[in-house]
Structure 1
Amino acid sequence: MLAVFHSRRKLKGKQSLGFSVDRSKEKKPMRTRYSLSFPAAKGVWAHFPAIGVTAILVALTWIVLGEAQLGKAQAQQQKAPARIFNTAKQKLREGKMLVGATVFSPDPNIYCATANTGYDYLWIEMQHSPLTFEDVAKMIWACRGASAMPFIRVPDATEGDIQKATDIGAVGIIVPTVDTVEKAQAAVKWSKYPPEGRRSQGNGQYGALWGSDYRQIANENMVVVVMIETPIGVENAEKIASVPGIDVIFAASTDLGNFSGHRQGEKEYEALVTRIHDVTLQHGIRLGGPQAWKGRPGFTFFQGPGETQLIEAGAKVNLSAPARPAVAPVEGDKPPGGH
């Protein structure tokens, strides 16, 4: 609120003309007071006729209003949402279903062919494959601009594994066998820059892939997926789901059976899945599982088949397609991998 005042009260031998701004209703209450002082002997009115005083007050009013508008503009700029380049993260925020194919091969052509078929992300498998970070860096770079976002299942929630994965351009980190709250915290800590995490800033191809403002927007774009795969992890599911920064909790269908000794459909196995399901959704986290579980309620993040299965399925479709007149493709018109 703006209050304009003039006073004949003497302040150290002077009279004053001025105004104040009352910000008592703002987050940081304060009153700012501005004034013009004149020698008391002549008085303010001797210096300025009434019309001049009015003009000064109007001018001062505009100054304060301008200051207020500038403050609002700065506040809005500070609250502006970060640029989201990770389309998978955006879909998660919108509550959409995500499906990703799994990649084991180091061949960039196979990677690109898979990345441009319509999947939301690619599950790059580094826990159960001989892939190296050098292999994966070349794959991601060769297919920059693909519609499927690169996610990496790292071997473990260590600084070295996650740092390398993020530096080469992964925008999703999948951490296996999360049994404890400490491991869940490590997944977030090494995936994100300060103040949300402890990721170090160093060299990498992430900037060339995602933009020069990457450091400022990386945390908003990173997807952290933790996998619960054992009865111990299920027992600690509540604590794991309470860790800030987790986007998806993934119920690992194969290892839940491997570590529990029960098979899908058995009540003991299904009780484990139900526990993960309930805790995850209660905490507002997205629930993941194999693509075969698309019919299960609450699951919206899925791991699809590997590239060899996709090649096999595609070959069967190709061989079973009905014969009809068509224009034969010209060799060399389209590079391998379709990019």
Structure 2
Amino acid sequence: MPAPKNTFKAALNEGKAQMGCWVGMADPYAAEISATAGFDWLLIDGEHAPNDLRSILAQLQVIEASSSHPVVRLPIGEDWMIKQVLDAGAQTLLIPMVESGEQAADLVRAVRYPPFGKRGVGSALARASKFAAIPDYLKSADKQICLLLQVENRAGLAALDDILATDDVDGVFIGPSDLAADMGHIGNPAAPEVMEAVIDAMTRIAAAGKAGGILTLNQDLIKKCLEIGATFVATGIDVTLFAGGMRDLAKRSRAMRDGD
């Protein structure tokens, strides 16, 4: 019996656009609510949300029980972090701040077992192998890992062609907010210079035959990226959706009290 099929990776390979949402509340109950919404994928954020290995694991468990595919973003592409979340059962990773083809190649090695990579062999202890219940896990796991790399500054854009030329990189995600900051437009990802850079990068990703991804609330940019051929697009963030809903309800409640 081989490792479970990564249906998200298969969809990207077939060019089928997958619509997702960021999950940053760092809580399995909230993640489970998001998992009932019907998104193709949900991003468990380990970079900017207060997650650790155990909270990521708990969210993987509840999301995997739904039709949404869990993607884990690590805070940094360290080998030991990659090894832990893969053993915990994640099959799709998003690694931030990738700035060179050499870094991309090193990350490919980190998600693969020897002799093709350097992932530590401990699958007998791992949830990923269903605790050794998948006898062919070690021989089949590599093909089901989906590696997504995040380019979000000028250095990354300058090296984009090298990153795209790296074998076994499944997709490249463009981060407009960090890119805007690096380009001198902090807090304004809609600046024309930033938008032009994002669209150019997405066009190059699609032309290279890789999956292109983005997180944006800008409806026009979402449509443009989909037209270009982006295949993993996040359109919202659970934290801002919850915060906005609560603030709106509080405002309307005060207005009813005050007779406005």
- TM-score range for the pair, normalised by the shorter chain length: 0.7 to 0.9
Q: Which amino acid aligns with 1:277?
A: M
Which residue of the other structure, out of 230, 245, 251, is the alignment partner of 2:153? 230
State yes or no: 1:168 paired with 2:88: yes
Q: 1:228 to 1:143 in 2, by over 3 A?
A: closer
Residue 141 of structure 1: how far off its partner (Å): 2.7
- Give yes or no for contact 1:141–1:209 (8 Å, CA) kept in 2: no
Structure-1 separation of matches of 2:241 and 2:133: 32
The two structures, once aligned, show a CA RMSD in angstroms of 2.6
Structure-2 separation of matches of 1:238 and 1:122: 27
> For 1:118-157, what aligned pairs fall within 5 Å after superposition?
118-157=38-77
- Give yes or no for contact 1:192–1:198 (8 Å, CA) kept in 2: yes
Unmatched tracts of structure 1, length 5 or more? 1-81, 318-339
Structure-2 separation of matches of 1:313 and 1:265: 21
2:99 aligned partner: 179
More strand by share: 1
Q: Which amino acid aligns with 2:13?
A: R
2:163 aligned partner: 240
Q: Which amino acid aligns with 1:256?
A: L
Q: 1:249 to 1:109 in 2, by over 3 A?
A: same
- Give yes or no for contact 1:121–1:151 (8 Å, CA) kept in 2: yes
1:95 aligned partner: 15
SS of the aligned residue for 1:113 comes to helix
- Give yes or no for contact 2:3–2:137 (8 Å, CA) kept in 1: no
Q: Which amino acid aligns with 2:39?
A: Y
Structure-1 separation of matches of 2:145 and 2:163: 18
Q: Which amino acid aligns with 1:205?
A: R
Structure-1 separation of matches of 2:25 and 2:89: 18
SS of the aligned residue for 1:295 comes to helix
> For 1:271-282, what aligned pairs fall within 5 Å after superposition?
271-282=196-207
> For 1:204-223, what aligned pairs fall within 5 Å after superposition?
204-208=126-130, 212=134, 213-223=136-146
> Structure 1 stretches (4+) deviating beyond 6 angstroms?
313-317
Which residue of the other structure, out of 204, 211, 217, is the alignment partner of 1:286? 211
Q: 1:118 to 1:188 in 2, by over 3 A?
A: same
Residue 210 of structure 1: how far off its partner (Å): 11
Residue 277 of structure 1: how far off its partner (Å): 2.1
Q: Which amino acid aligns with 1:149?
A: H
SS of the aligned residue for 2:126 comes to coil
Q: 1:221 to 1:121 in 2, by over 3 A?
A: same
> For 1:1-339, what aligned pairs fall within 5 Å after superposition?
85-202=5-122, 203-208=125-130, 212=134, 213-262=136-185, 263-291=188-216, 292=218, 293-296=221-224, 297-311=228-242
Encode CA deviations 1:59-111: one digit per residue, 9 max, x unaligned. xxxxxxxxxxxxxxxxxxxxxxx776222112112211112221222322211
Q: 1:160 to 1:143 in 2, by over 3 A?
A: same
Number of equivalences: 237
Structure-1 separation of matches of 2:22 and 2:189: 22
Name which of structure 1's ranges 198-207 and 172-181 shifts more when overlaid on structure 2.
198-207
Question: Quick one: higher RCO (CA 8 Å, sep 6+), 1 or 2?
Answer: 2
- Give yes or no for contact 1:100–1:119 (8 Å, CA) kept in 2: yes
Structure-1 separation of matches of 2:138 and 2:163: 27
More helix by share: 2
Q: 1:230 to 1:265 in 2, by over 3 A?
A: same
- Give yes or no for contact 1:84–1:90 (8 Å, CA) kept in 2: no
SS of the aligned residue for 1:254 comes to helix
Residue 248 of structure 1: how far off its partner (Å): 1.0
Structure-1 separation of matches of 2:3 and 2:51: 31
Give the number of the structure whose alpha-carbon radius of gyration is greater.
Answer: 1
Per the normalisation by structure 2, the TM-score is 0.81
- Give yes or no for contact 1:149–1:171 (8 Å, CA) kept in 2: no
Structure-2 separation of matches of 1:269 and 1:144: 35
Q: Which amino acid aligns with 2:168?
A: G
Name which of structure 1's ranges 220-229 and 135-144 shifts more when overlaid on structure 2.
135-144
Per the normalisation by structure 1, the TM-score is 0.63
Q: Which amino acid aligns with 1:259?
A: D
Over the matched positions of the two proteins, sequence identity in percent amounts to: 25
SS of the aligned residue for 2:130 comes to helix
Residue 266 of structure 1: how far off its partner (Å): 4.2
- Give yes or no for contact 2:180–2:194 (8 Å, CA) kept in 1: yes
Residue 121 of structure 1: how far off its partner (Å): 1.7
Residue 219 of structure 1: how far off its partner (Å): 1.7
